[in-house]
Chain A
Amino acid sequence: MADTDADGFEVIGVTPATVLKGGTLSAGGGLLLQVRSAIQRLGDGQVLEVQSAEPAVKEELAAWSRLTGNQMLADLDAGDHTRYFIRKGASGVPREKPDWGIKLPRRPGGRLDMRDWFVGRLGDVPEEAPAYLGFVPRGAVREPGMPEFPYTLNRRPEVWADNIADLYEQATAQQWNASTDIAWDSLPRLPDDVERAVCQVMTFLAENEYAALYIPSRFLPRINAQYTEVVLFLATVINDEARHIEAFTKRAVANGGGLQYSASLTEWSLHSLLVQEDYFQSSFLLHVLGEGTFLDLLDFLARFAPDPVTADVVRRARQDEGRHVAYGIAHVREQLRADPTKSEALVTAAEERSAVLQATTGANPMVMEALAIISGGGSLPEQMARGVEAVRALFNDMHEYRVRRMLQLGLDEATAQKISRLHTPNFM
């Protein structure tokens, strides 16, 4: 029961483009469905031959053809079956053909890698994609007359990054499990002041991770699904952030401490990030400045962590954040390359965010103290002094690396310096 290519025989002046062998299949037993699909694959005016040994099919095929705007040309007795010839009516639609015959290469170990799927229709990432493409998988042949989807990001440069497929493959390869991959059993008992500092920092980290989860979640449904690699990558980001919230929360409650204080300053800072409506500006603020700064903070914590378990948690989170920052840099850089004047929008975004925090002291003292205790090894005077020094160095590093990342985007030194200073009171 399959379509076969006609072997070129001529009947009543028409050559069928396709032959459908129906055997004794009844009209309602699947034959009409097969006929519809076969007709759909034809071009306007082409002819389908249906062979059927089932007499009742005749009436149904004729009526079906009439109702569907196709034309039953003739039926011919062929002994043990009848041959029906149906001409496809004018559908008015130039029929695209789906891909066929593509076989992706395998990488060593049998890997089927996203980086290799940019072939055929699937590989054709459009510069611009109409919102009515909805959830049609890129490369599939669509019918006309589909509804508009509520996408607002319908142009490739608005969302794309040239390393997006690499990042996606890295993301799926580097997933981890916060329940079982961390050696929670080996968490040593810590002095109260150090444990409290760790718990305070974990509280702060989890708080920031919520922003990192909610922001891409807001933008994902606005991205045209034709840019599927971006959508899938953001889904991994969202999952990463969920795991970070989980892991940091778990660390806070794993060792006899608990979640500590949240400062309104932090909430104002994160709120100003969340309400950003422009994806370009948001991407820059979150992935480049925010998560970039977070990388340095996580590095700092990995270095000074009082125990290997805490160090492992922040190191794993840091690896994930590296991908998020890499996406942000590539994505923002691509847009700045296309339109260097867009750098003004980045300054504006940083200024707007900075204005929100202007009335405040500019840093969360609970977190500052906790970072000093962790890096100083405790809360004794000499430990605090050492710790405060390390935190000062951290802030210098964070500024320096923010500037460096912005230079990578193609921003000039002065603009980068300006934006980085504006960002200072915000970690994320």
Chain B
Amino acid sequence: MGRAVIVGAVAYDPRVVTIWEGIRDYFHGVGLPTDYVLFSNYDSQVDALLSGALDIAWNTNVAYARCEQRANGGCRVLAMRNTDLDFRTRLVTRKGSGISAIGDLAGRRLALGSTDSAQAAIMPLHFMRQSGIDPEAEVQILHFDIDVGKHGDTGSSELEVLRAVHEGRADAGMVGHATWLRELEMGRVNSGVVESVWTSPPYDHCNFTALPDFDPSLAADWADALLQMDYGDERWRRVMDLEGVSRWVRGRKEGYRPVLEALGVEVK
């Protein structure tokens, strides 16, 4: 076995250290020495991957798109969480606002999350344009720019969006379905005031990105090993819970097409 595989991740929260200590232990246990490097934001992580300082980057879809842009679409998507497949954005509105579809947003107040969050800003703006709305000109947008650079991984800007809709500071808001469902399940959505009226088409969320020149057999071994991480195993359960994954799945590129499109990234 050669040198350790170096994986980058963004420390959007202190628990990221716990997660990566666990993942490092896991790979050590399966004989694939892996180490990790933490970044404070995705831009630095993308730079590090492109410069060769990292073998693999644990990227959001936005960071992945930046990598594809700079690697001319040659990146490899090694693995993803089961929850990264078919991610969706929800349009939530105040009941009685008269908004029942994305096309009704013209002239209304819309709350969005951090500018660099795919699910709460980038994709919403993209879907609006697709529906023939010019968001900059026609919609009164209320942006909650919190933890910019972390691509909405902290979810705090999405909570602000929901609060703004609850409090009537916005007529509608757009958030990822994961945040919406969690708030709904925990009873933190007042169903008498706020409802979800539209669900976006699917797009994929995070992935382990590698550059085209990363050793393909090592890449395959690494992904295979990750996919074996067992949610039922005491040792990895906590790590997987913290990372929001119950099963690692093989990566796929096609799920990112809407995100690349939204960001204007053209790949061959």
Decide if A and B are genuine partners.
yes
B-binding residues in A (CB < 8 A): 26-30, 32-33, 36, 56, 59-60, 63-64, 66-69, 89-94, 132, 143-147
Query: Shortest Cβ distance from A135 into chain B, in angstroms?
Result: 16
**A67 contacts B185, C-beta separation under 8 Å:** no
Given contacts A29-B191, A144-B237, A145-B237, contact A60 B232 (CB under 8 A): no
Chain A residue nearest to B236 in the complex (CB): A145
Return 10 A-B CB contacts under 8 Å, by A number.
Answer: A28-B187, A33-B185, A33-B186, A60-B181, A67-B83, A67-B178, A89-B246, A91-B231, A93-B231, A143-B237
Q: How far is the CB of B126 from chain A (nearest CB, A)?
A: 20
* Tier of interface size on chain B: 20 to 34
**B interface residues with partner A (beta carbon < 8 Å):** 82-83, 86, 88, 177-178, 181, 183-187, 189, 191, 195-196, 199, 230-234, 236-238, 240-241, 246-247
- B196: chain A residues at CB < 8 Å are 56, 59-60
B14 to chain A, nearest CB (A): 15
Shortest Cβ distance from residue A56 to the other chain B in the assembled complex, whole angstroms: 7
- Check A92–B88 contact: CB distance below 8 A: no
Chain A residues near B83: list those with CB within 8 A.
Answer: 67
Interchain nearest-CB distance for A365 vs B (Å)? 59
Query: Looking across the interface, which residue of chain B has its beta carbon closest to that of A32?
Result: B185
In the docked arrangement, what's the CA distance between A323 and B185, Å?
A: 50
Q: Which residues on B sit within 8 Å (CB–CB) of A63?
A: 88, 177, 181, 199
**CA of A26 to CA of B236 in the docked complex: distance in angstroms?**
34
> Which residues of A lie under 8 Å from residue B237 when comparing CB positions?
143-145
**A66: chain B residues within 8 A (beta carbon):** 86
A28–B184 touching, CB < 8 Å:
yes
Q: A59-B196, A93-B232 are in contact. List 17 more A-B contacts (CB 8 A).
A: A26-B191, A27-B184, A28-B183, A28-B184, A32-B181, A32-B184, A59-B199, A67-B83, A69-B82, A69-B246, A69-B247, A89-B246, A89-B247, A91-B232, A144-B234, A145-B236, A145-B237
Rounded to whole Å, the gap between the CB of B216 and the closest CB of chain A is 29
Residue ID in chain B nearest A69 by CB atoms? B246
Q: Chain A residues near B246 (CB, 8 Å)?
A: 68-69, 89, 91
| Chain B residue at smallest Cβ distance from A26 | B191
User: How far is A89 from B189 in the complex, measured between Cα atoms in Å?
Assistant: 27
**Distance (whole angstroms) from the CB of B244 to the closest CB of chain A:** 9
Bound Cα distance A213, B15 (Å)? 39
Q: How far is the CA of A144 from the CA of B184 in the complex (A)?
A: 25
Q: Which residues on A sit within 8 Å (CB–CB) of B181?
A: 32, 60, 63-64, 67
Is A92 a contact partner of B189 (Cβ separation < 8 A)?
no
Taking CB atoms, residues of chain B closer than 8 Å to A93 are 231-232
CB distance from A261 to the nearest CB of B (A): 54
- B185 in contact with A132 (CB, 8 Å): no
With A69-B247, A144-B234 as contacts: A64 and B185 at CB distance below 8 Å: yes
CA distance A68 to B247 in the complex (A): 10
A132 to B234, CA, bound (A): 10
B240 contact set on A, CB distance < 8 A: 145
Identify the closest chain B residue to A30 (Cβ).
B187
B233 touches A28 (CB 8 A): no
Q: How far is the CA of A147 from the CA of B186 in the complex (A)?
A: 24
Q: Would you call A145 and B234 a contact (CB within 8 A)?
A: yes
Distance (Å) between the CB of A57 and the closest chain B CB?
A: 11
Considering the chains assembled together, what is the distance between the CA atoms of A132 and B238 in angstroms? Answer: 12
In the complex, the answer to whether B233 meets A92 with C-beta atoms within 8 Å is yes
Cα A245 to Cα B168 in complex, Å, equals 61
By beta carbon, the residue of chain B nearest A143 is B237
A91 CA to B247 CA in the complex, in Å? Answer: 9
A92 cross-chain contacts in B, Cβ below 8 A:
230-233
A146 — which chain B residues lie within 8 A by C-beta?
238
In the complex, what's the smallest C-beta–C-beta distance from A251 to chain B, in angstroms? 53
A7 to chain B, nearest CB (A): 29
A91 to B181, CA, bound (A): 20
Give Cα A179–Cα B199 distance, bound, in whole angstroms.
68
Which residue of chain A is the closest to B247 with respect to CB atoms? A69
In angstroms, how far is the closest chain A Cβ from the Cβ of B234?
Answer: 5
Bound-state Cα–Cα, A91 to B245, Å: 11
Which chain A residue lies CB-closest to B88?
A63
Q: Which residues of A contact B177 (CB under 8 A)?
A: 63, 67
Find the B residue at minimum CB distance from A146: B238
Nearest-neighbour CB distance to chain A for B4, whole angstroms, equals 26
Nearest CB of B to A327, in Å: 34
Which B residue sits closest to A66, measured CB to CB? Answer: B86
Contact A28 to B234, CB < 8 A, known contacts A67-B181, A89-B246: no
B188 to chain A, nearest CB (A): 8
Most chain B CB neighbours (cut-off 10 Å) among A33, A56, A67, A147? A67
- On whether the beta carbons of B185 and A28 are closer than 8 Å, the reply is yes
In the bound complex, CA of A284 to CA of B240 (Å): 45
Closest to A33 in B: B185
- With a cutoff of 8 Å between Cβ atoms, the chain B residues found around residue A36 in the complex are 185
* Ranked 6 nearest A-B pairs via Cβ: A92-B232, A145-B237, A32-B185, A28-B184, A145-B238, A69-B246
Instruction: Return chain A residues, CB-CB under 8 Å to B184.
Output: 27-28, 32, 60
- Which residues of A lie under 8 Å from residue B234 when comparing CB positions? 132, 144-145
